[in-house]
A and B are shown apart, each in its own frame.
Chain A
Amino acid sequence: MGSITLKQVTKSFGTVDVIHPIDLEIDDGEFVVFVGPSGCGKSTLLRLIAGLEDVTSGHIEINGKDATSIPPAKRGLAMVFQSYALYPHMTVRKNIAFPLKMAGLDQAEIDRKVDEAARILNLSDYIDRRPGQLSGGQRQRVAIGRAIVREPDAFLFDEPLSNLDAALRGNMRLEISELHQTLATTMIYVTHDQVEAMTMADKIVVLRDGIIEQVGAPIELYRNPRNLFVAEFIGSPKMNIIKGSVADNMGAPTIGVRPEHIDVSTSEGSWKGTVGVSEHLGSDTFLHMEVDGVGMVNVRADGEIDLHHGDTAFLTPQETKIHRFDASGMAV
């Protein structure tokens, strides 16, 4: 059980409106990612659900019951913080046991659950250490362990991977996804990293300035962005946005083409351009090309392509993959 419903939820700090009226349905067992640039209100929205901030107006329902005025301790949710927020004076065992102790379980039951969580998260060897003696990844696991032992209705993650290095981030991303498969519990995950959003989410909520721009499955947002903001935010490298006469000729004031939807040829194509920087990654090559009458265009080409700085090449956007936007930036 872990469905969460937001009804016309708003949040203001003084005279500043951080969250404009938001309606959102999160189903039981779903992995939902809140994504958006910094300052878009995604963390605030998570803290409102957690109960760490009070809503200014509107209602939050958990499992169909109004939870708006229930304190965080009683909402049945668990949270993993960006800073891990472990208790520095407690060992790993006591950190993980803390929520169970607060729930008033007996010691034998607590020990059994803590050992189980430590085993799942490969923490058994560190169980008697303090947080100060652990690496970043281990601390992150303890924070997750502390969240899972209580078997909450939903997990809330507030940018949990942003303090880890790139390699570890990739690993933990997988571990969290696996955890979701195993536990099948609702998870709400806040990030500014659209790669995390795309790879982990069942449903992505794109936020900007306290407003939901679009909600949908990752592939749906990728294929059918509702507006220019979502189009540019989702997908890496970013979608090419083209305006002017080229766009007019294709039937819209603004068009967008993803770098992976442009074919490259050395002999013929719709656009002629010059290669600026070319990044050879092995699997792919990213070409930054200056195209006559269009401007800068990024292209994701085959890894083995033999194009270098100053070379001339022809580009052809794939007709079915072109996104068209009206003057106000909405998709048409």
Chain B
Amino acid sequence: MARAISTQRRVWLTALAWTIGFLIFFPILWTFLTSFKTEGEAIASPPSFLFFDWNLSAYEAVNQRSDYPKHFFNSVVISLGSTVLGLLIAVPAAWAMAFVPGKRTKDVLMWMLSTKMLPPVGVLIPIYLLFRDLGLLDTRIGLVIVLMLINLPIIIWMLYTYFKEIPGEILEAARMDGALLWSEIFYVLTPMAVPGIASTMLLNIILAWNEAFWTLTLTAAKAAPLTAFIASFSSPEGLFYAKLSAASTMAIAPILILGWFSQKQLVRGLTFGAVK
């Protein structure tokens, strides 16, 4: 009975887990609660937790002052666009590195990862100048490209690890069955890697959705996504916590809901039963 855990211990562990979970979740909860307060209540000391005058005035003010649908649409285009473009490049790249590795494959992978260690601000000036000269400043296509590039190493790494787990013999079987390269990738590899591709895709959408550095520095008005929408409520006249919270809640809600619904897809395994 080495694995038996006493009831008392179980209660303690459960309580501890819930406490940690609550602590992590608290800032989001607080933002959510604050968004339903008036500006006065939002900065009241001591703060009221649940018993305040719930109202939607902050949301009304936010919607009057800015164009949420436009920012939302920009965020969707930028995160989906950069993800799809990234996958189109990363799937063949990860295929090559997982199934026909060369002498330098490991080095290339490490080099790609090392680019993530550089602070983005280090390349701000060259990228800004490139964007200016190419007319990409404040365009959605520009942001799609730059976010795809900064997330590409992560996408390739994730897909590479998933592909590594797919038995090579299945791909060889496809080759013997007459599948040329693209048929092999399209009909055999990709369907088997669906859980891996789906979780990579979701992670990348979240990363792109939340990316603030490039989206704030490379946009002004036209292509500004929800990050710029939130930032616009931290103004020189001071912080309006209720409005800022309302804007944040509206910005993170879509991605939270997406994450909630795609949980199942992320953990489903398909490869079982293929070999042995």
Interface residues of A (CB under 8 A from B): 50-52, 71-74, 77-79, 81-90, 98-99, 102-103, 130-134, 146, 150, 156, 163
Known A84-B275, A98-B187, A102-B183; contact A89-B270, beta-carbon cutoff 8 A: yes
A159 to B194, CA, bound (A): 30
Are A85 and B270 interface neighbours, CB within 8 A? Answer: no
Smallest beta-carbon distance A45→chain B, Å: 16
- A156 and B169 alpha carbons, distance in the complex (Å): 14
Q: How far is the CA of A267 from the CA of B175 in the complex (A)?
A: 65
Alpha-carbon distance A81/B170, docked complex (angstroms): 9
**Among B177, B191, B194, which residue has its beta carbon within 8 angstroms of that of A102?**
B177
Contact indicator B175/A52 (Cβ below 8 Å)? yes
Within 152-207 of B, Cβ neighbours of A (below 8 Å) are at: 167, 169-170, 172-180, 183, 187-188, 191-192, 194
> Which residues of chain B are near A98, meaning CB under 8 Å?
174, 177, 179, 187
Whether B66 is near chain A, meaning CB under 8 Å from some CB there, is no
**Which are the 10 A-B pairs with shortest beta-carbon distances?**
A132-B273, A88-B274, A83-B275, A102-B178, A85-B173, A99-B177, A85-B169, A79-B176, A89-B191, A72-B175
Of all chain B residues, which has the CB nearest A101?
Answer: B187
Q: Is B49 an interface residue (CB 8 A)?
A: no
Looking across the interface, which residue of chain A has its beta carbon closest to that of B194? A89
Does A163 contact B273, Cβ atoms closer than 8 Å? no
Q: Which residue of B lies closest to A75 (CB)?
A: B176
B169 touches A83 (CB 8 A): yes
Task: Write the residues of chain B forming the contact surface with A, with a CB cutoff of 8 angstroms.
Answer: 167, 169-170, 172-180, 183, 187-188, 191-192, 194, 270-276
Q: Write the chain A residue with the least CB distance to B269.
A: A88
Query: When the two chains form their complex, are residues A103 and B178 in contact, meaning their CB atoms are under 8 A apart?
Result: yes
B178 A99 Cβ-Cβ under 8 A = yes
Contact A102 B179 (CB under 8 A): yes
CB distance from B107 to the nearest CB of A (A): 18
Interface pair A133/B273, CB less than 8 Å apart: yes
- Which of B173, B271, B273, B275 has the most chain A CB atoms closer than 10 A to its own CB? B173
Across-interface contacts of B177 in A (CB, < 8 A): 73, 78, 98-99, 102, 146, 150
**What CA separation (Å) do A90 and B192 show in the bound complex?**
10
Q: A81-B169, A87-B170 are in contact. Are A163 and B276 (CB under 8 A)?
A: yes
Give how many A-B residue pairs fall within 8 Å (CB-CB).
89
A158 CB → nearest B CB, Å:
9
A156 shortest CB reach to chain B, Å: 8
By beta carbon, the residue of chain A nearest B179 is A102
Nearest-CB distance from B193 to chain A (Å)?
A: 10
Q: By the criterion CB–CB under 8 Å, are B178 and A81 in contact?
A: no
Complex Cα distance A156/B175, Å? 13
Q: Which one of A77, A81, A132, A133 lies within 8 Å of B172 (CB-CB)? A: A81
Contact among B167, B176, B276 for A73, CB-based, below 8 A: B176
Which residues from chain A contact B169 at a C-beta distance below 8 Å?
81-83, 85
Residues in B whose Cβ lies below 8 Å from that of A77: 176
Given A81-B169, A89-B270, A71:B180 Cβ within 8 A: yes
- A85, A132, A134: which contacts B170 (Cβ < 8 A)? A85
Q: Report the bound CA distance from A132 to B273 in whole Å.
A: 4
**Is B273 in contact with A72, judged by CB distance below 8 angstroms?**
no
A131-B274 in contact (CB<8A): yes
Given that A83-B169, A98-B187 are known contacts, is A78 also in contact with B176, CB under 8 Å in the complex?
yes
Known: A51-B175, A83-B167. 19 other contacts (CB 8 A): A52-B172, A52-B175, A72-B176, A81-B173, A84-B276, A86-B170, A87-B170, A87-B173, A87-B174, A87-B188, A88-B170, A88-B192, A89-B192, A98-B179, A102-B177, A103-B178, A130-B273, A131-B274, A150-B177
